[in-house]
Amino acid sequence: MNRRIRITVWNEFRHERDVKHPSRAVYPDGVHAVIAKGLAAEPDFEVRTATLDEPEHGLSKETLEATDVLTWWGHGAHDEVKDEIVERVQQRIVLGGMGLIVLHSGHVSKIFRKLMGTTCKLRWREMGEKERIWVVEPNHPISAGLPPHFEIPHTETYGERFDIPAPDALVFLSWFQGGDVFRSGCCFNRGIGRIFYFRPGHETFPIYFQPEVQRVLANACRWAAPSGCPPTQFGHVPTPLEKC
Amino acid sequence: MNRRIRITVWNEFRHERDVKHPSRAVYPDGVHAVIAKGLAAEPDFEVRTATLDEPEHGLSKETLEATDVLTWWGHGAHDEVKDEIVERVQQRIVLGGMGLIVLHSGHVSKIFRKLMGTTCKLRWREMGEKERIWVVEPNHPISAGLPPHFEIPHTETYGERFDIPAPDALVFLSWFQGGDVFRSGCCFNRGIGRIFYFRPGHETFPIYFQPEVQRVLANACRWAAPSGCPPTQFGHVPTPLEKC
Amino acid sequence: MNRRIRITVWNEFRHERDVKHPSRAVYPDGVHAVIAKGLAAEPDFEVRTATLDEPEHGLSKETLEATDVLTWWGHGAHDEVKDEIVERVQQRIVLGGMGLIVLHSGHVSKIFRKLMGTTCKLRWREMGEKERIWVVEPNHPISAGLPPHFEIPHTETYGERFDIPAPDALVFLSWFQGGDVFRSGCCFNRGIGRIFYFRPGHETFPIYFQPEVQRVLANACRWAAPSGCPPTQFGHVPTPLEKC
Amino acid sequence: MNRRIRITVWNEFRHERDVKHPSRAVYPDGVHAVIAKGLAAEPDFEVRTATLDEPEHGLSKETLEATDVLTWWGHGAHDEVKDEIVERVQQRIVLGGMGLIVLHSGHVSKIFRKLMGTTCKLRWREMGEKERIWVVEPNHPISAGLPPHFEIPHTETYGERFDIPAPDALVFLSWFQGGDVFRSGCCFNRGIGRIFYFRPGHETFPIYFQPEVQRVLANACRWAAPSGCPPTQFGHVPTPLEKC
């Protein structure tokens, strides 16, 4: 693919519009604005944003058709995402090859649960603990350019058991100060689409400003971009290839 | 588990009640009756049946709670299975550890698609071709007691691409006379439940009378029976294990 | 398999015979003696031991033929294990279905590296840190009966990157006080044999006396016991099954 | 990687130098000459060849250091490849990230068996049967540009059980006229290197002249090229990252 990768950065964008919410101090223009700015610095990316309260959640058929990779941040309003739109996003991934990057609390978004088939639940705690992310697969495209480990100074903690299918590749593991571990970078192939779950990214910590995190997101978008394979032909094939 | 494995054999049971349908000649009492009879011959199994047109499709909460392994055969009426019951079955698998054996055209059942997160589509043709099933993993519990390969004399053909996530174990591959191949025995772990997809089993061929097929089903039920692990605790864990 | 599982507990047994070595205070009769005693408490196990300085390292053809599962502890004398014996053990696993449980510093044993095809190297430190082992797959036979996590009060630390092929199942993850994480319970299928790598178990800490560790070892031996499938037939098959 | 991918095409090159061997009619300059010519047509590749009877089998340290991807064809003289060179190739893959493409009868080469840890045996027959190769993963880089299936008109047959570890990705499945199936395109990650096994390619059939086969080889070389990650640091790390 020689043209630029077209990325749509999706955000629930509710916390940051609530004047009383602590996320406003960190992400006054929304989590998506910071993610999009980081990605837009890459010369091979073309970035737009979409949010829950736009018509069709900003995810019209036209927008999805013109999206190579969708990043997803949601937290408190997962249930407000319409089933019809979730279905549309799933189809675009599985049948059309769009990539999906699911971030942090997006683990219980409708779209991630629909693609995984499990509850995607986990254990959590919000104490601003330190997280250290270890690279388990150093030659995976998503860990390119990263050191063997890097730290998130303060974060919400997620701990195992994380109820997901065994990932097709496990790229990162997290260590937490409070004694927990987590599979924090997980790749999945579903249909002809690729999905990456990345754990870091709480709305009250400046995690999406960190260069290592921005690097992971950029790597993940390149990895998840469509391979360009045509839609698969399914269904009735009346004539056998060999004489029966 | 020292008590017997409680199996519920589910069938859509529509074709076989239609006096004009060719399945009546092969399965006059329904596909489920033959599957259940085969399984009931195993001393460690306790078998019941359930069908689409029973109240709650025969899958009440009580029945599911008392089911260790559910086998699923459906074909023409997938859409008539109520979403609420599909959700209930999924929960019982993922959170409760019930096993699920999905048979043949059950590949596009609501429950299988919900668990896989993909379309589960494939290519197909109905010509009564010969199928030869090859054991790819001879030490897997589901291939126990089988020869290196066995034949289905006449069957409906399924061919790749089969749109599923890469299985956690690939036990069988099928060869078809007409030139196709298929991943015909696929294991998946989802939550604390185990799922096995087994391709053979069309309603107009006496496939479920074959000893090798009956052997596979019995092996699969034993493999998919709950391990007995307690429900996983998810959610808020306010106190860290280590001092932060 | 209704007869008892025949386990051979192998130990390098050098440190514990050195009067100046601190391991003598913890394992005066050898690490193998404690492992064997723990396993022998299981009614379905039949346990013997073997050590490096016995003839053929205690692993004659007859012994291996009469072994269902071999557990392996080595540390400082990996290079003294004869290639011929390593080859024999590999054949018994891959072609004969014997299980292998590789313990702690056995990660760079000849047999484990031969089965993995990689260096099996890792990062390590010996400070007596606390380790917390998390169950990632609660319904796996090897985690049966375990709590969601358990602790090793003092241990040698191993950290990622652990240079192994992606395991066929990842059962445990370790958290270390000093900031590291590790894939500490890894299942592999090789040929018709099953291999489990379990990280805990340094020679100067009483780790093999811990009930949780003993439980893991017993579970692993049951999981790795041969399925009973006959040897696979390879080689020339001159006559095709179908007319060409 | 903006520079060209440096490929070394290795061949045993014995059959084709034997004036009585039928391979001379098809590959008069050796199998490697045809493979190399096909790859050299790609503008981003730089191709050289190496053969068994050259000093160090043509695989000096300098050559391997200057090789991004090595393709391996051997058949009758696997045992003549020196263990020291096999060890060197393994190290360059696992620690240095060189890619390896193993072709056809290379399945029992020393290097493939060393990387897999199993016998890599299979069932075979030489009757010039038709083979049909099915794409199982249409969005994998190695199947880019291929149709859903393609045929090899005449080939040596390989059949399951193929004694390999479960591949990290299964890209192709083969159907054979005589009734067999085979996992004919298998990806493995070992250390920081990538390995692809591709089944087609007998020395007496013009398989390496086929455009689809050449396409697979070119795709595989791009997929297996080193990611550029630095060598992993293993070993003693005396100072913990966190206070203990």
Q: Which residue stretches of chain A have pLDDT < 50?
A: 1
Give the C-alpha separation, A6 to B42, whole Å: 57
A125 touches chain D (CB under 8 A): no
Rg of chain A, C-alpha, whole Å: 18
For residue A187, the model assigns a pLDDT of 98
- Cβ distance A229 to D138 less than 8 Å, yes or no, reads yes
pLDDT at D1 over 60: no
For residue D244, the model assigns a pLDDT of 76
User: DSSP secondary-structure letter at B57?
Assistant: G
Q: What is the mean pLDDT of residues B78-100?
A: 98
A99 touches chain D (CB under 8 A): no
For residue D130, the model assigns a pLDDT of 98
For residue B126, the model assigns a pLDDT of 95
Contacts of B108 (CB under 8 A, 6+ apart): B78, B119, B120, B121
Question: CB-CB: which of C137, C139, C229 is closest to B144?
Answer: C229
For residue A244, the model assigns a pLDDT of 76
Task: Please identify, in words, the CATH class of the domain defined by C5-120+184-224.
Answer: alpha beta
Averaged confidence pLDDT in chain C: 97
Q: What is the mean pLDDT of residues B108-117?
A: 98
pTM score, two decimals? Answer: 0.98
**What CATH number labels A5-120+182-224?**
3.40.50.880
Averaged confidence pLDDT in chain A: 97
For residue A243, the model assigns a pLDDT of 87
- As for the ipTM of the complex, it is 0.97
Q: What is the mean pLDDT of residues C104-118?
A: 98
CATH 2.70.98.40 fits B5-120+185-224, yes or no: no
Give the C-alpha separation, C67 to C92, whole Å: 9
Averaged confidence pLDDT in chain B: 97
Tell me: the pLDDT tens digits for C68-85? 999 999 999 999 999 999
pLDDT at C1 over 60: no
pLDDT at B168 over 60: yes
pLDDT at B50 over 90: yes
Q: What band does D156 get if pLDDT is binned at 50, 70 and 90?
A: very high
Give the C-alpha separation, C76 to D131, whole Å: 51
D161 touches chain B (CB under 8 A): yes
Q: Which chains contact D through at least 3 pairs of Cβ atoms less than 8 Å apart?
A: A, B, C
Tell me: the pLDDT tens digits for D94-116? 999 999 999 999 999 999 999 99
For residue A68, the model assigns a pLDDT of 98
- Cβ distance B134 to D180 less than 8 Å, yes or no, reads yes
Give the C-alpha separation, D132 to D149, whole Å: 7
pLDDT at C2 over 90: no
Kindly list the residues from chain C whose CB atom is less than 8 angstroms away from the CB atom of residue B229. Answer: 138-139, 143-144
Tell me: the pLDDT tens digits for D48-95? 999 999 999 999 999 999 999 999 999 999 999 999 999 999 999 999
| Cross-strand bridge partners of residue D180 | none
- Cβ distance C160 to A132 less than 8 Å, yes or no, reads no
pLDDT at C148 over 90: yes
Phi-psi region of C180 (alpha: psi -120 to 50; beta: other; left: phi over 0): beta
Give the C-alpha separation, B4 to B43, whole Å: 8
For residue A122, the model assigns a pLDDT of 98
Q: What is the mean pLDDT of residues B164-174?
A: 98
Please report, for chain A, the start and end positions of each structural domain, with discontinuous segments joined by +.
Answer: 5-120+182-224
Tell me: the pLDDT tens digits for D6-43? 999 999 999 999 999 999 999 999 999 999 999 999 99
For residue C124, the model assigns a pLDDT of 98
Identify whether the C-beta of residue C107 lies closer than 8 Å to the C-beta of residue C197.
yes
